[in-house]
Amino acid sequence: MTLLLKLLSGSARAAALLLAAVCATALVAAQGGRFSDRLDILTHFTPWLLLGALVAIAVWALAGRRGRLTPVLALVGSLSAAMLMGPELLAAAGQKSGPVEGARLKIIQFNLWGRNRDPAGTAQWILEEDPDVVVFQEGFAKSGGVARALADRYPHRTTCAEPRACSTMILAKRRPVAEGGLQAGVSQANLSGAWATFRGSRGAYTVVGAHYTWPVPAGPQQQQTLRLARVLEAFPKESLIVTGDFNSTPWSFSLRRQDRLFGLERRTRALFTWPAGRFSGHDFAAPFPILAIDQVYAGSDWKTVSVRRGPALGSDHYPVVVELARP
């Protein structure tokens, strides 16, 4: 029995060492995302690599605390993770929201998912929320029924440029005074998006919706950021609102660069939105979201009243509900 316990303890320590080494290596390499888009891919997994490092320490402690390499590697990985996530978590902790005097604007940002499991329930929830503007991604195929179900309350729809079919759209109660699509090109860096300018009681404002590709392979997503940043230069930044499924987490250097290029304040801070239940057509259901990839930006004219994640509906994304006020 003693020999068996020793074997189990040794195996546990070996597993802990391997786990700590993998997590530490990946987290240290992720720091290279500052200059390499390929290494930046690793940053998106920072929370889960940090969790792996902490699990390694726990297993090492339970297995007798023999050897110093495992805790050292886990500590190195944890410090690297703190460097990556710290700025975002501090920003989230310091984010101010609450009652603000001024004209209110409620926006829902939502990737509907092409295989939406409950279009009717999704549409009903949106009607109950009663936002002023809804920005959809993947509003095609089965999920296209959501936009049709909302047509009476949201009769004005702006989508991408023709002739290619586009799934990004902006639905609004109010008729826009100007609108257009952002789509251009047929490569992986093609930008699927739309914009609409509205006349409000405190002046005009523009809402932009976009959908980026995945961060893998490296390169196309960063090109989309540069393309969208150029598009945004045409609009007054103070009143501008940009929402989208950017497929990029806040601890990535790609999203940090995007924040600087846009010149807007990102109102979604450490808000995990993917996956919501079953995802990508598989039977596996995630118990909680693991990626923070849906973002909402707004210019300095807008004050944050509230930012929250909506419920799990028929999509593999959670919706984001943002309420702004324009004093």
Q: How far are the Cα atoms of 11, 131, 156, 209, 306 from residue 123, in angstroms, in the given order? A: 52, 12, 16, 19, 22
Beta strands (DSSP E) in the chain are 103-111, 133-137, 156-159, 169-172, 178-181, 192-200, 203-211, 240-245, 265-266, 277-278, 285-286, 294-298, 303-309, 320-326
Write down the pLDDT at residue 187: 54
Write down the pLDDT at residue 281: 55
Q: How far are the Cα atoms of 142, 143, 219, 276, 277 from residue 313, in angstroms, in the given order? A: 14, 12, 32, 8, 9
In order of their start, the domains of the chain are: 2-94 (no CATH), 103-326 (3.60.10.10)
163 prior amide bond cis, ω within 30: yes
Q: How far are the Cα atoms of 87, 142, 183, 192 from residue 162, in angstroms, in the given order? A: 40, 21, 8, 11
Q: Which of 210, 220, 292 is nearest to 37 (CA)?
A: 220
Give the other-Cβ count within 10 Å of 60's Cβ.
Answer: 25
Write down the pLDDT at residue 142: 65
Beta strands (DSSP E) in 126-231 are 133-137, 156-159, 169-172, 178-181, 192-200, 203-211
Q: Are strands 265-266 and 203-211 parallel, antiparallel or unpaired?
A: unpaired
Q: Count of alpha carbons within 13 Å of 118, Cβ hemisphere only?
A: 15
Write down the pLDDT at residue 165: 65
For each successive 10 residues of the chain (327 residues), what is the average pLDDT?
66 92 98 97 97 95 88 97 97 87 94 92 98 94 83 94 76 96 64 94 95 95 95 96 98 98 98 83 73 98 96 95 96
Write down the pLDDT at residue 210: 96
Work out whether the CA dihedral 212, 217, 222, 224 comes out positive or negative: negative
Tokens of 66: 């023999």
